[in-house]
Amino acid sequence: MLEDPQELEETWADEPGLWGWLCSVDHKAIGRRYLGTATVMFLLAGGLAALMRLQLSRPENPLMGPDLYNQLFSTHGTTMMFLFAVPVMQGLGVYFVPLMVGARSIAFPRMVAYSYWMYLGGCIFLYTSLFLNTGPDVGWFSYPPLSEQLFDPTKRPDVWAQMITWTEVASLAVAVSIITTTFKLRAPGMALNRIPMFVWAQVVTSFMVVFAMPAVMMASTALILDRLVATHFFDVDRGGDALLFQHLFWFFGHPEVYIIFIPGTGIVSTIITTFSRRPMFGYLAVVLSLVSTAFIGFGLWVHHMFATGVPQLGASFFTAASIIIAVPTGIQFFCWIATMWSGKVELKSPMLWMLGFFWVFLIGGLTGTMLAAVPLNIQVHDTFFVVAHFHYVLIGGAVFPLFAAFYYWYPKIVGRMLSERAAAWGFGLFFIGFNTTFFPMHILGLHGMPRRIYTYLPETGWGPLNLVASSGALFMTAGVIVVLLDAWRARHAGALAGDNPWAAPTLEWTTSSPPAHSNFLHPPTVGSAYPVWQDSPDQAVVVGLRSDVRDVLVTHLLDTEPDHRSVFPEPSIWPLLTAIATSVMFIGSIFTAWAVVYGSIPIFITMVGWFWPKSPDEGGTQPWPATERTLPLPNEAPEGAMP
């Protein structure tokens, strides 16, 4: 009763050629695209930062004026926060969550494909604008009144505002898919306490995305409405309030950093578990820490606004919450240390980056507790101290884990091993460079250097430390180049990886490297949280799914009992066409509000094309007319799933 492997692979493969590439709804292909595009964004934004550091390396540097510098720092921040950090984590989720839960596909594959094209569109749009001298120029958070039409009559803030909505649609789509995948497509036997920590992190993050992204969409929409059709949300002369923007923005902005950090902790948990050869210590505590971090993270946003003069009582609440959130993160830290302490540790390349994570993120988290304190905050807010802090937590909490994830999962995605030696060099250069660049910034901030200044006077005394900081950028760049060169080389010249080169415990390592088109020849069931290590060789596999269509097993949310089968969609061009239509609407809306009305028509058409069924498909549900219902209602038993 086992499926025909060849037919199965053909069913799940993309069509060949450019057409097949454009129509793909394979989560692995889309995940790779997300990771690749996000890497390009990282390099572009890093390049902008290098130019910024060049400008600041000495006082009164005539290299560039404020107009260019303002676009550089605004685009750098906007890219890193919206076009790199969140998409790269979501890209990892898109690729690995279905594999880790034992599913053949991600939920809503066409929507995930659409989300990628939207993301790509946003990236192209932003950088085209920058090269046309219309890049955002009022910071990555674009506060009014500075970003209002009166003070910035160019199109630059409009570019910023619409790019936000554009790319946030992509993030929201992926979040819903990841939640649904984890809820409904888990392998039989994968009870809540057997879900891999990386998947927990992705689900928690996805919920945060669902609740946080609407806030930034409302803020940026209100801003563009003020600019385009003369609403007065932030116009104090007509009853509006500049602080409303800040509240809306930071209600998103604070959870945003946890949206970036929590998947990072999922990576850390994964890698420490694998390379300590033992289950994560305190699984339940770590899961609860993730959840409580997410909740508390929604209650911190005013700490970005302490300098506006918030009343003492309110400020105290947000100080307390901002300090308390260190507790769940501390719990995770101690559990990781305990896991390594009692494990058998192998210091392979991913673990090197983990050590870097411990050093860098710890420093960043500790300066975070400093910034939580209102008195200290009102001194160092909006200075390079904050720049140092957030680079330590973001690069420490996301980029170091991402490098580790890169070394860990490249063999699975590509099928080849990277070089341990190159990894060590890359790590060393990047780690030294990073600390050289960002540690002095703590001191610069304490010495009074504000953020977002294109130059400074020599008498301030900031010159020497700025030069040190700028020189660190060279090392960071060198480290990144080493890693990229190795990745390029290993594509064809690396040692073959095999299914499980790290002897890791989770399900993605039970399939080939790269994974089969269908992910698993036989979808697995699990009997533990660490299937490769702890399941018996006898652990059952799922049979009975069709191999002539994209048949996927849907299980029950709580107990993962097999519930029904669902035929997933074939590759389709409609997600791309819909993304193009949506993008045209967004671009048009920068120039006129009517674009929203006219632009909706092509979107409507493409969505009809998307959802219209082609024919009674081979999914096995009855064509009509028929005589009775065969699909079960929620309270009915599924039909015979026999173990």
The verdict on 364 binding another protein (CB under 8 A) reads: no
The verdict on 377 binding another protein (CB under 8 A) reads: yes
Helix (H) or strand (E) holding 555: strand 551-555
Is the Cβ of residue 155 or residue 452 nearer to another protein in the bound state? 452
- The CB-of-227 to another protein minimum distance in angstroms stands at 12
Quote the tokens at residue 64: 């560039």
The verdict on 514 binding another protein (CB under 8 A) reads: no
Burial class (CB in 10 A: 0-12, 13-18, 19+), 575: buried
Quote the tokens at residue 379: 């001194």
The verdict on 612 binding another protein (CB under 8 A) reads: yes
The verdict on 344 binding another protein (CB under 8 A) reads: yes
Per DSSP, 474 falls in state H
Residues 439-478 close enough to bind another protein by CB under 8 A = 445-448, 450-457, 459-462
Quote the tokens at residue 146: 């500075």
Is the Cβ of residue 267 or residue 490 nearer to another protein in the bound state? 267
Scanning 233-241, 253-261, 409-417, 425-433 for contacts with another protein by CB under 8 A, the matching segment is 233-241
The verdict on 320 binding another protein (CB under 8 A) reads: yes
The verdict on 5 binding another protein (CB under 8 A) reads: no
The answer to whether 446 touches 465, Cβ cutoff 8 Å, is no
Quote the tokens at residue 348: 């392979």
Q: In whole angstroms, what is the distance from residue 543 CA to residue 545 CA? A: 6
Is the Cβ of residue 10 or residue 561 nearer to another protein in the bound state? 561
The verdict on 277 binding another protein (CB under 8 A) reads: yes
- The CB-of-311 to another protein minimum distance in angstroms stands at 11
Is the Cβ of residue 52 or residue 482 nearer to another protein in the bound state? 52
Q: Which of 387, 327, 401 is CA-nearest to residue 359?
A: 401
Count of residues that interact with another protein, criterion CB under 8 A: 173
Backbone φ and ψ for 457, nearest 5 degrees, come out as -80, 150
Q: In whole angstroms, what is the distance from residue 121 CA to residue 106 CA? A: 22
Scanning 93-101, 334-342, 410-418, 474-482 for contacts with another protein by CB under 8 A, the matching segment is 334-342
Longest dimension (CA), the chain: 88
Q: Which residues pair with 553 in a beta bridge?
A: 565
The answer to whether 361 touches 419, Cβ cutoff 8 Å, is no
Is the Cβ of residue 128 or residue 460 nearer to another protein in the bound state? 460
Instruction: Give SS3 for 234.
Output: coil
Buried b / exposed e along 115-145 (16+ C-beta atoms within 10 A): bbbbbbbbbebbbebbeeebbbbbbbbbbbb
Scanning 46-54, 208-216, 422-430, 510-518 for contacts with another protein by CB under 8 A, the matching segment is 208-216
Residues 290-319 close enough to bind another protein by CB under 8 A = 307-309, 312, 315-316, 319
Convert residues 538-557 into a mask of x (bound to another protein by CB under 8 A) and - (unbound). Answer: xxxxxxxx-------xx--x
Quote the tokens at residue 199: 């998947």
Scanning 93-101, 177-185, 404-412, 482-490 for contacts with another protein by CB under 8 A, the matching segment is 177-185
The verdict on 211 binding another protein (CB under 8 A) reads: yes
Residues 400-429 close enough to bind another protein by CB under 8 A = none
Is the Cβ of residue 20 or residue 461 nearer to another protein in the bound state? 461
The answer to whether 137 touches 152, Cβ cutoff 8 Å, is yes
Residues 25-64 close enough to bind another protein by CB under 8 A = none
Q: What is the Cα Rg of the chain in Å?
A: 25
- The CB-of-546 to another protein minimum distance in angstroms stands at 8
The verdict on 616 binding another protein (CB under 8 A) reads: yes
Residues 473-502 close enough to bind another protein by CB under 8 A = none
Q: Which of 63, 326, 467, 478 binds another protein (CB under 8 A)?
A: 326
Q: Which of 71, 167, 276, 528 binds another protein (CB under 8 A)?
A: 276
Q: Which of 579, 576, 564, 574 is CA-nearest to residue 620?
A: 564
Q: Which of 317, 334, 425, 439 binds another protein (CB under 8 A)?
A: 334
The answer to whether 588 touches 166, Cβ cutoff 8 Å, is no
Angle between helices 156-184 and 197-229 (to 10 degrees): 150
How many residues are there in the chain? 643
- The CB-of-426 to another protein minimum distance in angstroms stands at 19
Q: Which of 566, 570, 588, 602 binds another protein (CB under 8 A)?
A: 566
Q: Which of 48, 111, 577, 590 binds another protein (CB under 8 A)?
A: 111
Q: Which of 6, 17, 131, 628 binds another protein (CB under 8 A)?
A: 628
Is the Cβ of residue 39 or residue 547 nearer to another protein in the bound state? 547
The verdict on 176 binding another protein (CB under 8 A) reads: yes
Per DSSP, 563 falls in state E
Is the Cβ of residue 451 or residue 489 nearer to another protein in the bound state? 451
> Where does 101-196 have alpha helices with state H?
109-131, 156-184
Quote the tokens at residue 120: 């790509």
Q: Which residues pair with 516 in a beta bridge?
A: 519
The verdict on 604 binding another protein (CB under 8 A) reads: yes
Instruction: Give SS3 for 386.
Output: helix
